[in-house]
């Protein structure tokens, strides 16, 4: 048995001929924040719904804290907080009534119920909105209400499907702050989003999915510092004196290409990822008389790195889907 908070092993979900989830495997350790990224239709919601025990896989295993989501859905619903991408709220029900209703549904009574609702409203800053009708909230307030609802039973694992979609920048910052606080409290958070730069900031790891398969699982740095489409690495070089010296030097040196001028030097491309090659290039520059004051790998943003990776996969080049693990026994969903 795995001690991961979330474990998915060779998971498949077919809708007729469509392979929405096509053999994915990953583990997310306790207390970490993992971003789930992919284009529209990549299979994120389907995977999350299976983890939330709202759908059955065609084949494979999904576990939360070592508990199988298909075999023990009731236990899973105690362990997880589920924040769907769309959620319904009720007309003529205030924020307070709404949360109180769900607290009852979770089985809380009397003082304990009032305390839970109060704590959640404080955390999500909903107290000033307690008497507001829940269907008359802004998108940001609605998301805070949805987060509050998912936290009522103090779940260990939070599964959030596109929580930042449609939020203005201020509401996004507020949501990010709440997620950070929850992470500091030790909750495991699995969050999907299209806003890659924000995910990179708040996640310990990123899981990229494409056409139902995992294409990258690692931290955002490893993705941003990857190679370009042809395997080269980009560097920023700054020199004292004439910046033209950098481009002149590149013309007569193999394996190095000058890409564009910068105020104090230029942007160059070294045609291999090997660090020795970078060290050798820098040493040669200095030996040839360039007064180099800065020489560093260019940081690409996550969007560019992701698009680049998808391009390579489409062309059948270097990046490959993460290796598939041997299958575990499949099962048939219960008949009910």
Residues binding ligand ATP (CB under 6 A) = 15, 18, 20, 38, 40-46
Q: Give the nearest distance from C-beta 211 to ligand ATP in angstroms.
A: 9
The nearest distance, CB 320 to ligand ATP, in angstroms, is 20
- Min dist CB 47 to ligand ATP, Å, is 7
Q: Classify 94 as helix, strand or coil.
A: strand
Identity of the residue, 32 or 193, whose beta carbon is nearer to ligand ATP in the bound complex: 193
Rounded distance between C-alpha atoms, residue 178 and residue 231, angstroms: 39
d(CA 177, CA 162): 16
Residues 60 and 11: beta-carbon distance below 8 Å: yes
Q: Can you tell me the distance from the alpha carbon of 258 to that of 157, in angstroms, rounded to the nearest whole number?
A: 48
Closer of 42 and 96 to ligand ATP (Cβ): 42
Nearer to ligand ATP by Cβ, of 120 and 207: the residue is: 207
Is 98 exposed, middle or buried (CB count within 10 Å of its CB: 0-12, 13-18, 19+)?
Answer: buried
Q: In what order do the strands lie in the sheet with 233-239?
A: 256-262, 265-270, 233-239, 292-297
Closest approach, Cβ 84 to ligand ATP, in A, equals 11
Quote the least distance from Cβ 197 to ligand ATP, whole Å.
17
Residue (58 or 94) nearer to ligand ATP, CB: 58
Select 40 or 184, whichever has its Cβ closest to ligand ATP: 40
Question: Which residue do the tokens 């494979």 mark?
Answer: 60
């Amino acid at each position: 048995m795995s001690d991961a908070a979330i474990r998915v092993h060779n998971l498949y979900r077919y809708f007729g001929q469509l392979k929405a989830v096509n053999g994915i495997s990953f583990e997310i350790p306790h207390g970490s924040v993992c971003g789930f990224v992919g284009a529209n239709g990549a299979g994120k919601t389907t995977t999350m719904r299976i983890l939330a025990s709202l759908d059955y896989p065609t084949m494979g295993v999904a576990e939360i804290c070592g508990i199988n989501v298909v075999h023990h859905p009731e236990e899973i619903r105690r362990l997880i907080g589920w924040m769907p991408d769309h959620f319904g709220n009720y007309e003529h029900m205030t924020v307070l009534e709404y949360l109180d209703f769900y607290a009852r549904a979770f089985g809380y009574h009397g003082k304990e119920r009032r305390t839970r609702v109060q704590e959640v409203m404080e955390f999500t800053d909903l107290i000033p909105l307690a008497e507001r009708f829940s269907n008359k909230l802004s998108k940001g307030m609605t998301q805070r209400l949805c987060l509050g609802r998912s936290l009522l039973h103090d779940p260990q694992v939070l599964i959030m499907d596109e929580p930042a979609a449609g939020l203005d920048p201020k509401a996004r910052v507020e949501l990010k702050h709440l997620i950070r606080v929850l992470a500091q409290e030790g909750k495991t958070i699995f969050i999907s989003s299209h806003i890659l730069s924000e995910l990179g900031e708040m996640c310990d790891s990123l899981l990229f999915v494409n056409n139902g398969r995992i294409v990258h699982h690692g931290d955002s740095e490893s993705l941003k510092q990857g190679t370009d489409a042809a395997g080269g690495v980009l560097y920023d070089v700054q020199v004292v004196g004439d910046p033209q010296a950098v481009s002149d030097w590149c013309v007569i040196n193999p394996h190095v290409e000058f890409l564009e001028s910068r105020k104090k030097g230029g942007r160059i491309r070294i045609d291999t990822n090997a660090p020795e090659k970078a060290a050798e290039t820098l040493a040669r520059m200095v030996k040839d008389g360039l007064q180099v004051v800065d020489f560093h790998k260019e940081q690409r943003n996550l969007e560019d790195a992701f698009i680049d990776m998808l391009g390579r996969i489409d062309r059948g080049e270097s990046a490959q889907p993460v290796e598939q693990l041997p299958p575990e026994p499949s099962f048939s969903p219960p008949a009910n």
